[in-house]
Amino acid sequence: MSGRPKMRVALITTVLNEEDSLPTLLESIASQSRQPDELIVVDGGSTDRSVSILNEWQDRLPVQVLVQPGANISQGRNAAIERTSCDIVAVTDAGVHLDPDWLERLTAPFIQNAVSVDVVSGFFRPYCETDFETALAATTLPDVEEIDGRTFLPSSRSVAFRKSWFDAGLRYPEWLDFCEDLVFDLRMKRVGARFLFRPDAQVGFRPRSSAMSFWRQYYRYARGDGKAGLFAKRHLIRYATYFVALPSLFLTRSPVWRMLVLLGAVAYVRRPAQRLWSRRNGDAIAVARLLPLAGLLRAFGDFAKMAGYPAGLLWRARNHGLRRDWRTIPERTASSRD
C-alpha cells in the first residue's frame, strides 16, 4: 500500500512585514517529514520583501501567495481556508520554527483514523536569546506538563482541523484583530467538535524582546477579551487585587491580613519560579537572578491587560452591529463531522 496518505493537507499562515522571520519558517516547512499538499500564505499588505521572499520559494514549496492589503489575521486565515481544496487545514504563524515532524504528528490522527477527531491541538515552546526573553517566557508560557489536554484550547500557531467545519459555516471572527483563535476554538467546542491534544507536535518561537512590545501584545489580548465579552470574572479579580487588596496593606494593621497578602504574592510568582527552575536545569543562581524580573513582568502584563480590557468593552458598546456573540453558531454544523 502506498505510503502517501489519502487525505490532503493544506498549511496556511498570514504575514505582515515578516521578511526577517520568513526564511526560518519556510526552511522549517521545507524540512517537514510530511510535506503539505498546499501552502497558502495571505499577506496583509507588507511594505518589506515578504511577498518577494514567498515568491522566491515557489520552486521549493507548493506555495500560493494571496495579497490582501489591510486584511487582519482572521480575514487572512478565512481567505486561505476558502482557497484550499484539501481535507485537513493546519495553521501556524509567522515568526515560528516548526519541528521537522510537526505536520506529520499534527495530522496523523486524521490520516490514520485511529480516533474520531475534528481538531488536533499542537503545542509551542519558547526559545530565548536574552534574560528578558527567558523571564518573560517563564511568566507567560506554560510547560507542556501543565496542560490538561481535555480542556486545552489551542493557539493557531499549532493546530489542525477538518475543513468540513469551515464548509459548514465556522469561520475565524473577522471582527476581532486579537483573541480570534480563542473565539474560534470556543465555537468549535460549542458545536461539538472533538479535540485531541498532541503535545509532541511542537513549534518554537521567540517571546517579545522588549517591554513595550510585550505591553502592546497583552494590551491587545485583553482588548480582544473585551471586544468578545470574554473572561469578565478573571479581569475583575485582577482589578480587585491591584486596587483593593494591595492598597489595603497600607490601610490596615491586621497581621493576619498582611500574611494573607504575602502568601498571595508568593503564589503569584510560584509558577514562574517553577518554570525557571525546570528550564534552567535547577540552576538556583540563575533562578534567583531572573525571578525578580519575571515578577515585575507579570505585574507589567497585568497593567497592560487592565488598560486593554476596558478599551475592548468600549468598542463592544459602540459596535452593536459589527460584534458577534461567539455562542452563535451556523445551523449547518450538525453534519460537519461526516
Same domain, 181 and 287: no
Same domain, 123 and 235: no
Which of 209, 228, 254 is the last residue in one of the domains?
A: 209
Look at the alpha carbons of 275, 208, 152, 85 in this order and tell me if their dihedral is positive or negative.
negative
Site of grid cell 478599551 = 311
Q: Does residue 163 form part of some domain? A: yes
Q: C-alpha distances in angstroms, 208 versus 73, 93, 216, 305? A: 19, 15, 10, 16
Give the per-residue pLDDT at 331: 52
Q: Does residue 189 form part of some domain? A: yes
Q: Using 50, 70 and 90 to split pLDDT, how confident is the model at 114?
A: low
What b/e string do you get for 1-18 counting C-beta neighbours within 10 Å, with b at 16 or more? Answer: eeeebeeebbbbbbbbbb
Choose among 197, 195, 194, 193: nearest CA to 170. Answer: 193
Q: Using 50, 70 and 90 to split pLDDT, how confident is the model at 327?
A: low
User: Which DSSP state fits 335?
Assistant: G
180 phi and psi angles, rounded to 5 deg: -70, -35
**Edge-to-edge strand list for the sheet holding 88-91:** 63-67, 38-43, 9-15, 88-91, 159-162, 119-126, 195-205, 96-98
Same domain, 160 and 224: no
Same domain, 134 and 265: no
Site of grid cell 520568513 = 22
Mean pLDDT along residues 280-302 = 95
Same domain, 190 and 231: no
Mean pLDDT along residues 295-314 = 96
Mean pLDDT along residues 196-220 = 96
pLDDT exceeds cutoff 80 at 159 = yes
CA distance 205 to 95: 6
pLDDT exceeds cutoff 80 at 103 = yes
Please give the tally of structural domains in the chain.
2
Q: Does residue 3 form part of some domain? A: no
Mean pLDDT along residues 255-282 = 84
Same domain, 79 and 225: no
Give the per-residue pLDDT at 134: 97
Three cell numbers, residue 278: 525546570
Same domain, 199 and 218: no
Mean pLDDT along residues 315-335 = 64
Three cell numbers, residue 49: 520583501
Same domain, 76 and 219: no
Choose among 81, 70, 298, 283: nearest CA to 170. Answer: 81
Q: Does residue 97 form part of some domain? A: yes
Give the per-residue pLDDT at 328: 60
Give the per-residue pLDDT at 334: 47
Per the prediction, the chain carries an average pLDDT of: 90
> In which region does residue 282 sit, left (phi positive, over 0), alpha (psi from -120 to 50) or beta (all else)?
left
Q: Does residue 338 form part of some domain? A: no
Same domain, 14 and 158: yes
CA 72 to chain centre: 15
Note down the domain range covering 270: 211-318
Q: Does residue 240 form part of some domain? A: yes
Give the per-residue pLDDT at 338: 46
pLDDT exceeds cutoff 80 at 323 = no
Which of 157, 176, 209 is the last residue in one of the domains?
A: 209
Over pLDDT 70: what percentage of the chain? 92
- Helix pair angle (284-318, 232-240), 10° resolution: 120
Exposure of 76 in the CB half-sphere (CA atoms within 13 A): 31
As a whole number of Å, the CA-based R_g of the chain is 21
Same domain, 163 and 257: no
Q: Does residue 125 form part of some domain? A: yes
| Chain segment 28-64, per-residue pLDDT in tens | 999 999 999 999 999 999 999 999 999 999 999 999 9
pTM summary value: 0.89
Mean pLDDT along residues 166-174 = 93
> In which region does residue 207 sit, left (phi positive, over 0), alpha (psi from -120 to 50) or beta (all else)?
beta
Residue count of the chain? 338
Choose among 155, 125, 163: nearest CA to 38. Answer: 163
Same domain, 185 and 46: yes
Give the per-residue pLDDT at 269: 85
| Chain segment 131-148, per-residue pLDDT in tens | 999 999 999 999 999 999
Same domain, 220 and 190: no
Which of 167, 188, 209 is the last residue in one of the domains?
A: 209
| Chain segment 213-233, per-residue pLDDT in tens | 999 999 999 999 999 889 999
Q: Does residue 116 form part of some domain? A: yes
What b/e string do you get for 154-166 counting C-beta neighbours within 10 Å, with b at 16 or more? Answer: bbbbbbbbbbbbb
**CATH value at residue 15:** 3.90.550.10
